Structure 1
Amino acid sequence: MRPTRRAIVLAFVCVLAVWLAATFGARSLNAVVVPGVVALAAGAIQLRLADRPTIDRRQPTAGFPGESRTIRVDIDADDALTARIEEVVDDGLRTDFSPAKRALPATLEYDIELAERGEYRLGPLTLTVTDVLGLFTKTFTYAKRTPLLIYPECYRLTGVDSAFGGHDPFDDREAFDELREYVPGDSLRDVHWKSSAKRDDLVVMEFDSAADASEVTVAVEAVAGYDDAMATAAASIVTHLLDAGFAVELVYPGGRIEQAGGDPQRERVLRTLARAGPGRVESTDAAIHVLADAGGTHVTVADRETPFDRLTGARPTPAAADGGRRS
């Protein structure tokens, strides 16, 4: 507990009045001393006996870059106190919060703009409470830090057909079956140029519409500094697959999400990718492979590679998330 400047001035006036009364016999100065001493004692006792205010913070929901969240903290106190409210907000979060002075109980509200993928923290929160006369202050610190998760940017895949030669490899209506020799009449769009160069002869991709393609594994990797691009591509592809009815398994640097489908899997994948860092994955037979490095972000399906930007048609400008997808 600390005295405010007001208390220091009041105490000085009381001491001065006592000295003047003792020196010059001006007993009327007691009318100043007694109320001043009473006020100082009352303020000190009030803060000494004051219970610690209680804090009830509403957990903010995770979201996508470009969205915003209103942070709400309810502060309850049994005593009539005034408090200066301060809260630490992680760098990377855009906020209009500034320290505020409120009479307790009170509700603190401020807005946060979700900017970049990652896990951020709100807090610790500090209350500097003052007695009703503003003579003493006491500080309470609430060390708990509340997490706020920002998903990676997520885009609709609009250029899949053109990027993969007129065939959507993410569509469960057809599944890649094998490579075979080119025969007259085959579409050049189905030619697998990498394998053709190795064999010195044209080979084409054969698709089997009867194959069971309801399950798929996606493996994602990134070199240091390109994990945001990896997360964006992975989130976009997995969302596309889940929407098409696939059960998806995700292999990422440092972990794996077991195969599942539906909205619960979407949530698991997005939360994981919000935190995922750079790195490589162990050798896997994943049907879809994503690699982000200095050369860009590339997606490989059945040995056929394409830049991720081609799958989105053109990289869209930030917009409100639409069902977990950028429009």
Structure 2
Amino acid sequence: MLTRRGWAVAAVAAVAVAMAGWFGARSLNGVVAPAAVALAAGYVQLRRTPRPDLRVEAPEYGFAGDAAEVAVAFDTETPLAGAVELTARGPLALAGDSVETTVTDEPIAFGLELSERGVGAVGPVELRVEDVFGLWTATHRYSIRRDVTVFPRRRRLTDANELAALDRTLGIDGRDRFDQLREYERGDSLRDVHWKTSAKRTDDLVVMEYEADDRRGRIELLAEADPGRADETAEAAASVAGYLLDAGVAVGLTLPSDRIEPGTGPAHRIAVYAALARLSAGTVVDSRRGNPDVAVEGFEGEAVRVAAAGRSVEFARLAGPPAEPAVSPGSERSGRAAVADGGERR
């Protein structure tokens, strides 16, 4: 369709045609011919320009309060002037949802704010391009969607007395025997980083790996909340689960509508945080309740509490500043780009 400039050129040409009837063909040749050529050339350019393929790279997950980035790139043989518009839904907010730029195969970055826990999505993408004269415009819509899971905020547990009692109760007050050094992997605890060895390297961190200790067993964590308390409960449960996982404990998680079997390691940590990102209000039924080692409860009229072996403490007493994330925001971008080569043109 015509742009504002295109309509203006067409209007000037129409006026010139009208004036030609009064003043002769010279007015027609001097104004209408260049306008007609420009309009025709712009139309042909857009019609012959193939619809660019789209690549979108977005984080699969991150923590509430973090900032990430979405990269949008188009496969096009010739640069095109235009605007790119991106949509974000759920607990996600874009720093700017529209960018006017020259569209090439270089990525276009959009700042993404992970405002609160939950599951959101980025997409669709709309590309509006113009011909070289700015007279015609074409719109390409890409029905692409990338889900982004926003984990609850995780806080560092700081009360020494309560933590010592918790460690003794759960039997996690020791460390396994040292086994080997290896390269840092996404999800490893920063407490296991061997800083002296890492300082000698420029490409990556090195972490200490410990021998498995079958005597330690596993910890079952249960979390439930009344309506309006799910966010606080999820934050407390994520903090406690992170603390236990940092200690090398196998953690199982039971929620009103989800269950994660006990495990350790980066992938298990992500699964636990993802389940807590989806935590909704409710109580675990007796048939699924079992005998949890630790219960995180957010009931109406009470502070969120952490209970273990008959001891119960308000989470606010344990909670300190935000913990250093063991899962980097924006992870899983490499090699996980969504590609869209179909869609609508109008």
TM over 0.5: yes
- For 1:98 and 1:91, the matched residues in 2 are separated by 15
Residue segments in structure 1 that go unaligned for 5+ positions in a row: 175-210
Q: Residue 301 of structure 1 aligns to which amino acid in structure 2?
A: A
Secondary structure, counterpart of 1:97 in structure 2:
coil
d(CA) in 2 for partners of 1:126, 1:167: 53
Match of 1:275 in 2: 278
Q: CA–CA distance in 1 between the matches of 2:67 and 2:170?
A: 32
1:250 is the counterpart of 2:253 = yes
Residue of structure 2 equivalent to 1:73: 72
**1:67 Cα deviation (Å)?**
2.6
SS in 2 for 1:269: helix
- Distance apart, 1:214 and its partner CA: 1.5
How many residues matched?
A: 284
Counterpart in the other structure of 2:315: 308
Q: Please say if residues 290 and 298 of structure 1, whose CA atoms lie closer than 8 Å, have aligned partners that are also in contact.
A: yes
Could you tell me which residue of structure 1 aligns to residue 44 of structure 2? 45
Query: Which residue pairs with 1:124 in the alignment?
Result: 124
> Gapped runs of 5+ residues in structure 2?
175-213, 329-346
- Show the counterpart of 1:159: 159
Give, in whole Å, the separation in 2 of the partners of 1:276 and 1:98. 29
In 2, distance between residues paired with 1:163 and 1:103?
A: 56
Contact 1:214 1:245 in 2 (8 A): no
Q: Residue 21 of structure 1 contacts residue 29 of structure 1 at CA under 8 Å; is this kept in 2? A: yes
The aligned counterpart of 1:289 is 295
% identity of equivalent residues: 34
The residue that corresponds to 2:196 in the other structure is: none
RMSD: 2.5
Q: Which contiguous aligned blocks of 4+ residues in structure 1 show a shift greater than 4 angstroms?
A: 163-167
**Which letter maps to 2:6?**
A
Q: Does 1:134 align with 2:134?
A: yes
SS in 2 for 1:296: coil
* Worse-superposed segment, 128-137 or 62-71: 62-71
Residue 137 of structure 1 deviates from its aligned partner by 1.0
SS at match of 2:324: coil
Question: Does structure 1 residue 236 correspond to structure 2 residue 242?
Answer: no
2: CA distance, partners of 1:309 / 1:56? 44
Tell whether the 8 Å contact from 1:296 to 1:307 is kept in structure 2 after alignment: yes
User: For residues 24-39 of structure 1, what are the structure 2 equivalents within 5 Å?
Assistant: 24-39=23-38
Residue 130 of structure 1, CA deviation:
0.7
Residue 154 to residue 324, structure 1, CA distance change in 2 (3 Å): farther
Matches within 5 A, 1:59-98: 59-90=58-89, 92-98=91-97
Structure 1, 86-95 or 140-149: larger mean CA deviation? 86-95
* Alpha-carbon distance between aligned partners in 1 of 2:111 and 2:40, rounded to the nearest angstrom: 40
Distance 1:159 1:16, change over 3 A: same
Contact 1:154–1:324 under 8 Å retained in 2:
no
Q: 1:168 to 1:158 in 2, by over 3 A?
A: farther
Q: Which has the higher contact order (CA 8 A, sep 6+)?
A: 2
Taking a change above 3 Å as real, the CA distance of residues 10 and 298 of structure 1, as seen in their structure-2 partners, is same
Go from structure 1 to structure 2 and tell me whether the alpha carbon gap of 1:324 and 1:82 turns closer, same or farther (over 3 Å shift): closer
Q: Give the Cα–Cα distance (whole angstroms) in 1 for the partners of residues 26 and 167 of structure 2.
A: 101
Q: Distance in 2 between matches of 1:163 and 1:290?
A: 15
Q: Distance in 1 between matches of 2:279 and 2:234?
A: 7
Is the alpha carbon distance of 1:291 and 1:9 closer, same or farther for their aligned partners in structure 2, counting shifts above 3 Å? same
Q: Give the superposition deviation at 1:162.
A: 3.2
Can you list the C-alpha shifts for 1:2-42, whole angstroms capped at 9, x where unaligned?
11121112112222222222333243531321121111111
1:15 corresponds to which letter in structure 2?
A
3-state SS, counterpart of residue 168 of structure 1: helix
| Structure (1 or 2) with the larger CA radius of gyration | 1
Describe the superposition over 1:170-196 as per-residue Cα deviations: whole angstroms up to 9, x where unpaired.
33359xxxxxxxxxxxxxxxxxxxxxx
AA aligned to 2:87 is V
Counterparts of 2:131 and 2:323, CA distance in 1: 46
Q: How far did 1:237 drift?
A: 1.4
Give deviations 1:58-112, integer Å, cap 9, x for gaps. Answer: 1225222343212221123234421111112336434422522112215311322
